[in-house]
Structure 1
Amino acid sequence: MSPITDVEGRRLPLTRLDKVLYPSTGTTKGEILHYCAGVAGALLAHLHNRPVSFLRYPDGPEGQRFFTKNVPPGAPDWVQTAEVPRSREKSAHQVLVQDLPTLMWAANLVVEFHTPQWQAQEPGRADRLVFDLDPGSPATVVECCAVALWLRDRLADDGLPAFAKTSGSKGLHLLVPLEPAPSDEVSAYAKGLAVEAEAAMPELALHRMARALRPGKVFVDHSQNSAAKTTAAPYTVRARPEPTVSAPVTWEEIEGCADPAALVFRIGDIAPRLERHGDLLGPLLDPGRACPLPGP
């Protein structure tokens, strides 16, 4: 029998809590659920009103992994969903993680949380811009930091504030709060800046994905601004060899990064960081901080 837990009045079966998901650290499923509950305030704020896609890895990162946008079978009837357009003729329903019971139900499935750059009530109208800075070996997050600083300053030239988080894998994500704008316009603007970054730092930055070009450089991935794409949510645990988290970071940490290990954060690091810094991505949630997308 699975233990039944009461979460804010919802009865949830939480299964196999002693199962080791991360053999390298001995981290169990129960510890992952405990982490999600402990940072729920910040995590839920960034999931709110965004249709969630799940990268599921029920047997740990080394087991089978599969990406799903549809509502998982057996979802409780109290889990909220949103109708999401997939094409001109079709739409689908995706989960909205609006409260702690839904968060814990989803975490029990063992998932990474991924969200689009738009909210459910305005599909395809982005309220944030994102760059995914992805290093090609032997480049690391240290090189990503150099590119991030260039992008921060270039965005500032256009009156746009940038905020940063680790990807929870090898790179960095930069995020900008926007007044809602069509995703295709945000994508075009982001691509233009990625091209500029490559022109300014040809030895370091790359705006094309071609694998042959990647070694030693940072791919400035602008594609996640597409309405159909998603990005790992802030504070989500990643399906990596260790239970690393996509963690907000300060610009001081980016400026001072000389060792890739300095920007690796695991589940045990996040609650103390929230106590020390608060939610460093809080400005993304403040409509007063949103800026208009620069014109052509």
Structure 2
Amino acid sequence: MSSSQSTRVGRRTLDIHRPDKVLFPASGKGKEYTKGDLVAYYQAVAPFMLPDLRGRPLMLERHPDGIDGPKFMQKNTPDHYPDWIERVEVPKEGGTVLHPVCRDAATLVYLADQACLTLHRWLSRVGRIDRPDRLVFDLDPSEGDDFTAVREAARLLGELLDKLKLPSGLMTTGSRGLHVVVPLDGRHSFDEVRDFAKQVAGVLTDAHPDRLTTEARKKERGDRLYLDVQRNAYAQTVVAPFTVRAKPGAPVAVPISWSRLDDPRLDARRWTIADAVEQGHADPWAGVMSHGRALGPARRRLDLLTG
């Protein structure tokens, strides 16, 4: 077993430690993947992933002994990280946190070498840290639910957002459900954005009370799908597009086109590090995330719809 190997990433040469270390053991749900496989994936997907990472504080999900070992959620940037990795100090209750920021492929590869499987990103960027430029709806199915309910909920939400004239992108989470992502112009506070998201979710749950819920307590949801808008708050994070999840088979959170909802094979773990890069080349979010909108006109349209 090789103890380390060097790889060239842009202008930098990085040492990858124990590239043969198994992070994802083979199982009935997928093949075996090593740290070297993880590094190669993040290096390949960097051109598609970085636009959604640059300027955003990150929380890192690390699995030094693979997915069957302990998990570490890391916000503060360790002192031993190289100085070329960008940091941002952001306020929190009682102090500050020095988050890492990923601006280049070398940072992605370095984090993969640290056994960071999943990158969780803020919905705002450095410079306007209290003004999110993304709104996220998390469609979370009930335990044991098939994916049909998730696809149907996504379709209903997408139709409502179209009526509100808000562009949106769809993404598998690599775990259980789907995310619907709305680009914003960065003028609204987190509270304003979350309140709007609650209004939208409330309209859908009122129209489909037997299928959808905004109830945060699992025991109160029954078999209804949960429309989660709680991530739209200061210092909350969501999984980044193209990030790997700590699940058997190394599934990936992948942007998809709305037409994919018609595919009966679609589920949250449809893509893995073996084939997710193809989705980047397909560019299913082409032009969507670069057109952030203000919420004022959408609020007025929502008020008209609800009468």
Q: TM-score, normalised by structure 2?
A: 0.89
Query: Amino acid of the residue matched to residue 293 of structure 1?
Result: L
Cα deviations by residue, 1:233-272 (Å, 9 ceiling, x for unpaired): 0000001122000001111111x14345586111112222
The structure 2 residue matched to 1:94, chosen from 99, 106, 121, is 99
Deviation of 1:11 after TM superposition, in Å, equals 3.2
How many residues are treated as equivalent by the alignment?
Answer: 290
Matched, 1:109 2:114: yes
Q: 1:206 to 1:148 in 2, by over 3 A?
A: same
Matched, 1:243 2:247: no
Matched, 1:214 2:221: yes
Deviation of 1:93 after TM superposition, in Å, equals 1.1
Matched, 1:194 2:201: yes
Deviation of 1:6 after TM superposition, in Å, equals 3.3
Q: Which residue of 1 aligns with 2:287?
A: 283
Deviation of 1:84 after TM superposition, in Å, equals 1.1
Aligned alpha-carbon RMSD (Å): 1.7
Query: Amino acid of the residue matched to residue 104 of structure 2?
Result: D
Matched, 1:178 2:171: no
Query: Amino acid of the residue matched to residue 110 of structure 2?
Result: W
Matched, 1:45 2:47: no
What secondary structure is seen at the aligned counterpart in 2 of 1:31? helix
Contact 1:177–1:283 (Cα < 8 Å) also in 2: no
Q: Bigger shift: 125-134 or 71-80?
A: 71-80
Q: Which residue of 1 aligns with 2:151?
A: 145
Gap regions ≥5 residues in structure 1: none
Q: How does 1:154-173 map to 2 (within 5 A)?
A: 154-173=160-179
* Alpha-carbon separation, structure 2, partners of 1:128 and 1:198: 22
Q: 1:167 to 1:63 in 2, by over 3 A?
A: same
Q: 1:282 to 1:259 in 2, by over 3 A?
A: closer
Q: Which residue of 1 aligns with 2:272?
A: 266
Q: How does 1:65-144 map to 2 (within 5 A)?
A: 65-87=71-93, 90-111=95-116, 112-144=118-150
* Alpha-carbon separation, structure 2, partners of 1:97 and 1:86: 20
Q: Which residue of 2 aligns with 1:5?
A: 7
Instruction: Using the aligned pairs only, state the percent identity.
Output: 32
* Alpha-carbon separation, structure 2, partners of 1:129 and 1:249: 17
